[in-house]
Copies of this chain bind each other. A is one copy, B any other.
Amino acid sequence: MSEVYGVPVEQVVAPLRDLRDLGRYMVEFPYGDIYSRDGLAVRDREIATIAMLTALGGREPQLRVHMASALNVGLTADELYEIIIHTVVFAGFPTAINALNVLRDFLSQQEKEA
């Protein structure tokens, strides 16, 4: 594995170094074993991820990271918005509103950097 979603693996791994072995497991297990599986497109994996992180609640830092990944693998900002709205049916309004606030912060941060 030399790239994760077209990003050099070293760049992905660097911020995980601080997590010590947990960072290593993240590279080996989710990225190495799971994301690289053939049976589901990475775009589809990110749909599942955004939905889960929203619905479970309390995982805002991870949600933000995966919003960036999601855009990298071909989802649009509007689709992220739709996934969040979709979660309302299964997990109610509060977690969706929290996720929408993360999305808005993330997008306005992106705009500033552009």
Contacts and interface: CB of A to CB of B under 8 A. Distances in A.
A17 interface: no
Q: Interface size bucket, A side?
A: 35 or more
Interface in A38-87: 39-40, 44-45, 47-53, 55-59, 61-62, 78-79, 81-87
A6 interface: no
Contacts of A92: 55, 87-92
A68 B61 CA distance: 24
A18 B81 CA distance: 12
Interface of A: 18-22, 25-26, 28-30, 33-34, 37, 39-40, 44-45, 47-53, 55-59, 61-62, 78-79, 81-98, 100, 104
